[in-house]
Every structure is written in structure tokens, then in C-alpha cells.
């Protein structure tokens, strides 16, 4: 007796693809439509999963169909149906989806408790999870099933990834969704089945580099990744190995002198220098196996420290200041910079070999202007998020005031060169004196004038006319923040600007330009839906 009929096999195949698909990628919505057919419900422009919003009816409908399918298949298996290897895998994927959906809110409660500084010593629903796991995935049916404690830890990681991606990355534009998809891939790779099978304990060895203009939320992207790392579950004790909320360590290098950076990062031995009255572990040592260290503005490191950091990334070992003992680094390493690293390398201020140790996973957080150009409605959500901690219940009123004032005095097309940081100060200025005077700077975000940029090009050899034009277009693009505005200044089509930017990116390996630049913002999530067809996911 076959385990699945044709209709059931079709549903199982789609659910299996859902399990493996990046939930923030464009394919997810297509799969929802394929499962539900006419029962699919569109929510217009904003079709994204949101932990602060009620359950979406599409997800509820898919879950019910998956649960009904699993129960029918279980009865057939009990009556002696023998599944083929392919049917075993399909059944496992559908059962995992049902199990995940059943306990998602329990995991969410653990996340909320940890963020509220409430102790979460025990996962009280673990025994119920284990019983349901054995019911849905008996070993005789799925001989290669995952270990239940590993699956429990993986589900908790997935729920944290959803929660923090939406908490720290805001926006309803396609570009914002692409950024969420990039962050998801940074955590789980493009093949989640392989990740859960073997990569979950190795991904921390891949370094992540986050680049983009100042004020675009690079640290928040790093925090979303760092707080979503895999943490093993200890089944006998009924608890996780560490508290994820304490596992992310951020260091702003631009705010510290080099001597203090070395001591804080690598640690020091007692007596290593005048004020070293005791041994100091340092952030690398405190990170542990399941934590992460984030170095903001890594381009500010001096060359001697870059050499020491390079050795750390190559060997995953380090020495404390004044100590000869070798210590292992087992955590995840993340770094960020707002500078043009290829330019810094050409000027001898950043080591090329260090860059190639960092660039295995690159995430770009472009300007606020680019996001608002694509989705102007996001401005209100950002203003509301910024205003809430400042004025509480008056946030909606203040957000409306700021939105009206900026439209009248700055214009809808104001480029916001300071990005989210400038928007925050604009809100405060208008709150205090109903006025805001933006800072006008004559240089682009990289801090280099056009002659300096062209000089750097010549220092690398005799450029062709095309290379000079590419560099000039890149400078104009950085100053304007969008393809359209750069094209207006240059008197050409925006597609020409885009093709030149993309070609320059391919030619020099610069992380500062991409074919489809994502848009990061440093705020939480509040959906603002408008009519349209932007694709987005739901877990």
C-alpha cells in the first residue's frame, strides 16, 4: 500500500519546500499560493510574518492541512504501510513543520522572558515536545530522524532568528525584505537542511562583515545574527547550555584608544602594564563556544592590531597581553565599517589579507534615502518607532508633526545623509523647538573628495577611461544615495548608473555596491501596508 496518493504527495512536496526555503525570499509567497489556491489571502503590499501581529490566515490554513495530512499518514503507517525512502523524507518534513508550529509560541515565551531579564532555567515544555516528537517521528518509520534535543535547539534558534530579524530590521519595501533574507542566510546558509544536518556547529567559524554608510543599523544587523546563534539543549538537565541573551559582545573600536582595544579584546595578564592589577579575560575569552564578538568600525584598528586580529582569524587562537599562553577562540566573529575598504586598502590603511579573512559573508546596509525612495510609507513607521521611547503615548502625534514638518521644510526627497541617526535627532529637535537645521557637508560618505578618489585610482596603475568614468559615477552615486538621483546629476539613464556601479563592484571586489542593494534601518518592526505586490515571507 502506497503511503501517499497524488494529491497528498503534491501537498507534502510543497510543505517540504517551505521547510527548506528562505522564509524572507520571494519563493515563499509563491509556495503559499500553490498550497492554498483560491483560499490564499493577500494582504497587499505588506505580506510578512510579524511576531507582534496576529496569526496570518494563510499560515493557519497551511498548518491545518499539514496536521490533517500527518494524522492520515500516521494511521496508514500503523496499518502497515511501508514508505519508500522518498516518502520517508517527505513525511519527516511535514511532521517537522507540524511539530515546529505546535511549539512556536512556547519558544517565543522563552525569548520574551530572557529579554525581560527573567531567569529561564528550565524549558518546561520539553517533556511534552519529546513525547510529540516520538509520536510523529517514530524511529521505525524515520530511521535517520534528527536527535530530539538537537531539533529542540534548532527550533529555538529559528524562532530567535525570526524575532530579532523583525525587531532590528524595519521596512515593508522589497529591499528591506531582501536584507532580512540576507541576514537569514548569514545564520542558516542557503541550505537549511544541510545546516541542521551538519553545519550548525561550524557556522561560527565563518566571519561576517557588515558594510554600509554610517547610521544605517550595522550593529543591529550584527546583533540579530549574534543573538540567533545555535545553542545546544541539554536534555538531561532540561535547559540550554547558555543564556543567548548574554552571548553577544559589541565593541566600538572608534571610541577606544589602541592600547585599551588590545586589552579589552584579547585580555591581559596581571602586571602586563602599570594598571594591570589582576588578570583580565577579555571579550574573546568571555565569548565562549556559543557567543559572538562584534567589532564596530573595524577599519579604525591600527596596523599592528590588524596583524594580531588576522592571526586570530587564521588560527582561532590568541594570546593575552603580557601572557605567553595560547587561548582558543570558539565563538562567532562579526565586524562592521562605514568606510570604503578597497580605498582604505589602496591607501595602506587596511590590510588586504585581513579583508580576505572577513569577506566570506558580506552584508550591505545602504542608506535610508534608498529605502524611502522605494517605499516612502516607511518614514512614518520609523518616526513612530523613534518617538515611542521619547514621548510614550504621544508618539503618534509627534510622528505626524515631524512628518508634516519635514515634508514642508525639507521636502519629500530630502536625502537624509545621516540616515537613521539623523532622523532620530530631527525628531528630538522638532520636539524641543519645532525646528531642525540639517548639516550640509561637501564630501561623500566615504570622507574622500573626488580628487582624492581619482588619485587613489591612479596609485593602482594607469586606469582606462572606463575605469575613471566608473569611479566618477560611483562618487556621484555615493553622494546622492540612489541610481535615479545620480542619473539626473550625470545626465544619463539610471540603468547606465546601475550597470557601471555593478561593473565596478565586480572589478574590484568592493562590498560597497551591489546589483540589488538591500536597505537596512536601525529600528524595530511595525508593518505599514499599502496596495501593491511586494513579496514577503511568513514562517
pLDDT in tens, 18-74: 999 999 888 888 899 999 998 988 765 444 444 455 577 888 899 999 999 999 999
Q: Report the C-alpha gap between 478 and 22 in whole angstroms.
A: 30
List, for residues 262-305, the tens digit of each pLDDT value. 888 998 788 667 677 788 888 999 898 999 999 999 999 999 99
Q: Does 235 reside within a domain?
A: yes
Rounded average pLDDT over 1-26:
91
> What's the total number of domains in the chain?
4
CB contact at 8 A, 513 and 505: yes
> Do 235 and 346 share a structural domain?
yes
Q: Does 205 reside within a domain?
A: no
List, for residues 502-536, the tens digit of each pLDDT value. 765 544 444 333 332 333 333 333 333 333 333 33
Last residue of a domain, one of 318, 337, 364: 364
The 10 Å CB-count burial string (b at 16+, else e) for 397-423 is: ebbebbbebbeeeeeeeebbbbbbebb
Q: Which of 233, 171, 273, 288 is nearest to 527 (CA)?
A: 171
> Do 159 and 44 share a structural domain?
yes
- The reported pLDDT for the residue numbered 164 is 95
Cα dihedral: 141, 146, 148, 154 (round 10): -140
pLDDT category at 447 given cuts 50, 70, 90 is low
- The reported pLDDT for the residue numbered 487 is 84
> Do 377 and 295 share a structural domain?
no
Last residue of a domain, one of 343, 364, 385: 364
Q: At what angle do helices 218-226 and 148-168 cross, to 10 degrees?
A: 170
- The reported pLDDT for the residue numbered 514 is 30
Q: Report the C-alpha gap between 377 and 374 in whole angstroms.
A: 9
- The reported pLDDT for the residue numbered 119 is 67
> Do 154 and 21 share a structural domain?
yes
Q: Does 176 reside within a domain?
A: no
Q: Does 333 reside within a domain?
A: yes
Q: Structural domain of residue 262, as residue ranges? A: 218-364
Q: Which residue has the higher pLDDT, 444 or 460?
A: 460
> Do 456 and 425 share a structural domain?
no
> Do 463 and 409 share a structural domain?
no
pLDDT at residue 225 is higher than 90: yes
Chain mean pLDDT for the chain = 84
> Do 483 and 377 share a structural domain?
no
pLDDT category at 443 given cuts 50, 70, 90 is very low
Q: Which residue has the higher pLDDT, 394 or 452?
A: 394
Rounded average pLDDT over 453-467:
69
> Do 381 and 351 share a structural domain?
no
List, for residues 65-101, the tens digit of each pLDDT value. 999 999 999 999 888 888 888 999 999 999 999 999 9
CB neighbour list of residue 322: distance below 8 Å, 6 or more residues apart: 268, 269, 271, 272, 273, 276
The DSSP element (H or E) to which 35 belongs, if any, is helix 27-36
> Do 155 and 55 share a structural domain?
yes
Q: Report the C-alpha gap between 310 and 105 in whole angstroms.
A: 42
Q: Does 342 reside within a domain?
A: yes
Q: Which residues pair with 250 in a beta bridge?
A: 294
Pairing of strands 233-234, 239-240: antiparallel
> Do 21 and 42 share a structural domain?
yes
Q: Which of 15, 166, 227, 157 is nearest to 536 (CA)?
A: 166
The DSSP element (H or E) to which 416 belongs, if any, is none
What is the value of pTM for the model shown?
A: 0.79
Q: Does 518 reside within a domain?
A: no
- The reported pLDDT for the residue numbered 227 is 96
pLDDT at residue 137 is higher than 60: yes
Q: Does 15 reside within a domain?
A: yes
Q: Does 178 reside within a domain?
A: no
CATH of the domain at 224: 3.40.50.300
Last residue of a domain, one of 168, 202, 232: 168
> Do 23 and 164 share a structural domain?
yes
> Do 265 and 340 share a structural domain?
yes
DSSP 123-184: -TTHHHHHHHHHHHS-TTT-TTPPPHHHHHHHHHHHHHHHHHHHHH----SHHHHHHHHHHH
Amino acid at each position: 500500500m502506497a503511503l501517499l496518493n497524488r494529491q497528498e504527495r503534491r501537498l507534502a512536496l510543497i510543505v517540504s519546500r517551505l521547510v527548506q526555503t528562505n522564509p524572507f525570499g520571494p519563493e515563499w509567497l509563491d509556495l503559499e499560493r500553490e498550497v492554498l489556491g483560491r483560499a490564499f489571502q493577500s494582504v497587499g503590499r505588506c505580506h510578512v510574518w510579524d511576531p507582534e501581529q496576529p496569526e496570518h490566515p494563510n499560515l493557519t490554513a497551511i498548518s491545518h492541512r499539514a496536521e490533517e495530512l500527518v494524522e492520515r499518514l500516521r494511521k496508514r503507517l500503523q496499518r502497515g504501510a511501508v514508505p519508500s525512502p522518498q516518502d520517508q523524507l517527505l513525511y519527516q518534513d511535514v511532521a517537522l513543520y507540524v511539530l515546529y508550529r505546535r511549539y512556536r509560541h512556547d519558544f517565543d515565551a522563552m525569548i520574551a522572558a530572557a529579554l525581560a531579564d527573567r531567569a529561564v532555567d528550565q524549558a518546561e515544555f520539553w517533556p511534552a515536545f519529546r513525547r510529540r516528537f516520538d509520536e510523529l517521528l517514530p524511529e521505525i518509520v524515520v530511521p535517520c530522524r534528527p536527535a530530539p534535543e538537537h531539533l529542540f535547539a534548532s527550533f529555538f534558534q529559528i524562532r530567535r532568528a525570526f524575532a530579532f530579524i523583525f525587531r532590528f530590521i524595519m521596512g515593508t519595501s522589497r529591499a528591506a525584505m531582501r536584507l532580512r533574507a540576507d541576514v537569514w542566510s548569514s545564520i542558516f546558509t542557503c541550505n537549511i537542511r544541510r545546516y541542521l544536518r551538519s553545519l550548525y556547529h561550524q557556522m561560527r567559524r565563518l566571519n561576517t562583515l557588515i558594510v554600509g554608510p554610517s547610521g544605517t543599523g550595522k550593529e543591529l544587523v550584527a546583533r540579530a545574527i549574534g543573538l540567533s546563534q545555535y545553542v545546544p539543549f541539554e536534555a538531561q538537565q532540561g535547559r540550554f547550555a547558555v543564556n543567548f541573551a548574554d552571548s553577544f559582545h559589541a565593541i566600538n573600536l572608534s571610541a577606544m584608544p589602541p592600547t585599551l582595544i588590545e586589552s579589552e579584546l584579547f585580555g591581559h595578564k596581571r602586571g602586563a602594564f602599570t594598571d594591570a592589577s589582576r588578570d583580565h579575560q577579555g571579550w574573546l575569552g568571555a565569548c565562549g563556544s556559543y557567543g559572538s564578538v562584534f567589532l564596530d568600525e573595524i577599519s579604525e584598528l591600527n596596523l599592528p592590531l590588524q596583524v594580531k586580529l588576522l592571526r586570530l582569524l587564521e588560527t582561532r587562537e590568541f594570546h593575552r597581553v603580557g601572557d605567553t599562553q595560547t587561548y582558543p577562540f570558539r565563538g562567532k566573529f562579526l565586524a562592521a565599517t562605514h568606510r570604503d575598504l578597497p580605498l582604505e586598502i589602496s591607501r595602506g590603511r587596511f590590510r588586504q589579507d585581513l579583508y580576505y579573512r572577513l569577506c566570506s559573508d558580506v552584508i550591505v546596509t545602504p542608506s535610508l534615502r534608498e529605502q524611502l525612495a522605494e517605499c516612502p510609507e516607511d518614514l512614518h513607521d520609523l518616526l513612530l518607532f523613534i518617538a515611542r521611547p521619547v514621548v510614550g503615548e504621544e508618539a503618534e502625534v509627534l510622528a505626524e508633526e515631524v512628518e508634516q514638518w519635514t515634508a514642508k521644510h525639507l521636502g519629500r526627497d530630502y536625502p537624509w545623509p545621516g540616515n537613521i541617526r539623523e532622523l532620530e535627532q530631527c525628531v528630538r529637535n522638532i520636539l524641543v523647538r519645532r525646528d531642525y537645521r540639517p548639516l550640509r557637508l561637501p564630501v561623500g560618505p566615504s570622507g574622500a573628495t573626488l580628487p582624492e578618489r581619482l588619485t587613489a585610482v591612479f596609485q593602482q596603475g594607469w586606469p582606462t577611461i572606463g575605469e575613471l568614468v566608473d569611479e566618477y559615477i560611483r562618487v556621484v552615486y555615493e553622494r546622492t544615495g540612489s541610481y535615479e538621483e545620480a542619473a539626473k546629476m550625470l545626465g544619463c539613464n539610471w540603468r547606465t548608473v546601475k550597470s557601471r556601479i555593478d561593473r565596478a563592484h565586480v572589478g574590484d571586489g568592493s562590498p560597497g555596491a551591489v546589483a540589488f542593494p538591500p536597505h537596512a534601518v536601525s529600528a524595530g518592526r511595525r508593518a505599514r501596508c499599502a496596495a501593491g505586490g511586494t513579496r514577503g515571507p511568513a514562517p
